Amino acid sequence: MDEKKISKAVINRLPRYYRYLGDLLEKDVVRISSKELSEMMSVTASQIRQDLNNFGGFGQQGYGYNVDYLYAEIGKILGLDKQHNIIIIGAGNLGQALANYADFERRGFTLKSLFDIDPKLIGNEIRGIKIRPIDELESYMKENYVDIAAITVPRFNASEIANNLAKWGIKAMWNFAPTDLNLPKDIVVENVHLAESLLRLSFRLSSNKSN
């Protein structure tokens, strides 16, 4: 499989396929046609066939897709067959929300540590994982293998922390700080800008009203 051929639009849709297939698995559904999947997902059946054909076409005419197999294959494409170590920088409400999201564990993301600057938080445990002082981040990064750092610190701290993490060998950042991180190209940055999402909602709400 040549990953470079798969368009960004298809990649962006894969996590949604993965979610629906996971739901079907939980309901013990063994196979599903592109038509059924299409109705569930409100996507055309031809789009589903086209998307899934990118991965060698796991479906069979008249039989449909094997849910278990397709789930596992998409999981592999998404890199979920590997274990990922994750740390969270910023153990406030948002950091704690991420730390408590047990689904991540199930998908191979192992929370290794949290870091914060607030003495009231340092030493506390979340799901048995201790919150460390941010001063220990450098030594922690040198002594441990970390793939992903979730950044939930305020905007004005985020860039410095991100630059340091890059220097200390982080592979990817899941950035919740409302700022754009300027990092070397080989570091993956996935942004979740909550404020921008709310502004898009506001725009749509306000154009709705004026219709």
- For the segment 138-197, give every residue that binds a second copy (CB under 8 A): 147-148, 171-172, 174, 178, 180, 182, 186, 188, 190, 192-197
- Distance, first Cα to last Cα, the chain: 47
Among 35, 69, 167, 199, binds a second copy (CB under 8 A): 199
Among 9, 93, 128, 142, binds a second copy (CB under 8 A): 93
Provide the residue count of the chain: 211
CA-CA distance, 9 to 206, in Å (whole number)? 28
Among 57, 79, 123, 169, binds a second copy (CB under 8 A): 79
- Minimum distance, C-beta of residue 203 to a second copy, in the bound complex (Å): 5
Cβ–Cβ under 8 Å, residues 163 and 139: no
| 44 contacts a second copy (rule: CB under 8 A) | no
Closest CA to 73 of 1, 128, 124, 125: 1
- Minimum distance, C-beta of residue 116 to a second copy, in the bound complex (Å): 14
| 55 contacts a second copy (rule: CB under 8 A) | no
The amino acid occupying position 202 is S
| 83 contacts a second copy (rule: CB under 8 A) | no
Secondary structure percentages of the chain, helix, strand, coil, to 5: 50, 20, 35
| 25 contacts a second copy (rule: CB under 8 A) | no
Among 25, 45, 72, 94, binds a second copy (CB under 8 A): 94
Cβ–Cβ under 8 Å, residues 118 and 154: no
* Listed ranges 53-61, 64-72, 100-108, 128-136: which one lies at the site for a second copy (CB under 8 A): 100-108
Phi, psi of 162 (to 5 degrees): -65, -40
